[in-house]
Amino acid sequence: MTDADEERASPREWDAKAYHALSEPQFAWGMRVLDRVAVAGTERVLDAGCGSGRLTKELARKVPHGYVVGCDLSLNMTQAAAKTLGATANAVVCADLSLLPFHGAFDLVFSTATFHWIRDHDRLFGELRQALRRGGRLEAQCGGGPNLAAVHARAEALAAEPRFRRYFTDWEEPWLFAFPSVTEARLLRAGFATATCSLEHTPTQFPDRERYRAFIEAVVMRPFLSRLQTAELRNQFLDTMVEGAANDRPPYTLDYWRLNISATTL
């Protein structure tokens, strides 16, 4: 098995190089979230799910007299994020957001495009609350509500076909797309003093077949492709998904819904 095959087989690992190159939609959404974060410049910030560090670097620019800790479950991502940040006073750690090694350490937790990959949001929000100091804030965005419902339904129908079925006998969705009211209730139960959440519709169209295929391979279809043992099977799965997207109206479009999250502690 090659290194690439081992990464595909690991649910926690990502192709950081591909994600860094292809994640323009996530970066654009993240910059909008960052724009709504008012800071004094001295804050201690946790970037929860830092990925390859593109937004972590922008966060660091906003707190020149504070510091940022990027945190990600993927070792590949944390190594890429460390390179993106370069030689600074900021740091990157490889850790599970559901079991954080921090207590009362941060003024702000920032996160984008991450929380939906964690199924236990009650535990997640409890850990984030413990990581914050008194008067701390959580500003985040992740997939929510009907996020990617059509493409996931297409993939699950394909996984049920005879040529793929045996690889998905114990399939469970690895994501959780929550709705605003449910998330607000979870945040308050976790100990946050205030919680405000909303859904934002952000359908994203790709310019051509090649760009769409590369994106869903690196991001959206990762959990499905990790089940398939050969490059031939993975290519068959991807090709069929792309053919379906070509016939959509508009073609090569992912129906993204973002869950915006703002919460504070006492």
Residue 1: the pLDDT is: 37
pLDDT one-digit tens code per residue, 164-177: 999 999 999 999 99
Res. 154: pLDDT tops 90: yes
Domain containing residue 196: CATH number: 3.40.50.150
Counting Cβ atoms within 10 Å, is residue 235 exposed (0-12), middle (13-18) or buried (19+)?
Answer: middle
Query: Confidence band (pLDDT; 50, 70, 90) for 14?
Result: confident
Res. 6: pLDDT tops 70: no
Residue 258: the pLDDT is: 98
What is the mean predicted confidence (pLDDT) over 130-143? 98
pLDDT one-digit tens code per residue, 196-239: 999 999 999 999 999 999 999 999 999 999 999 999 999 999 99
Q: CB-based contacts of 86: which residues, under 8 Å, 6+ apart?
A: none
Query: Confidence band (pLDDT; 50, 70, 90) for 10?
Result: low
pLDDT one-digit tens code per residue, 248-258: 999 999 999 99
Residues spanned by the domain of 174 = 3-264
What is the mean predicted confidence (pLDDT) over 170-192? 97
Give the pTM: 0.93
Average pLDDT, the chain: 94
CA gap 7, 205 in Å, rounded? 28
44-48 and 106-112: which strand pairing? parallel
Counted domains in the chain: 1
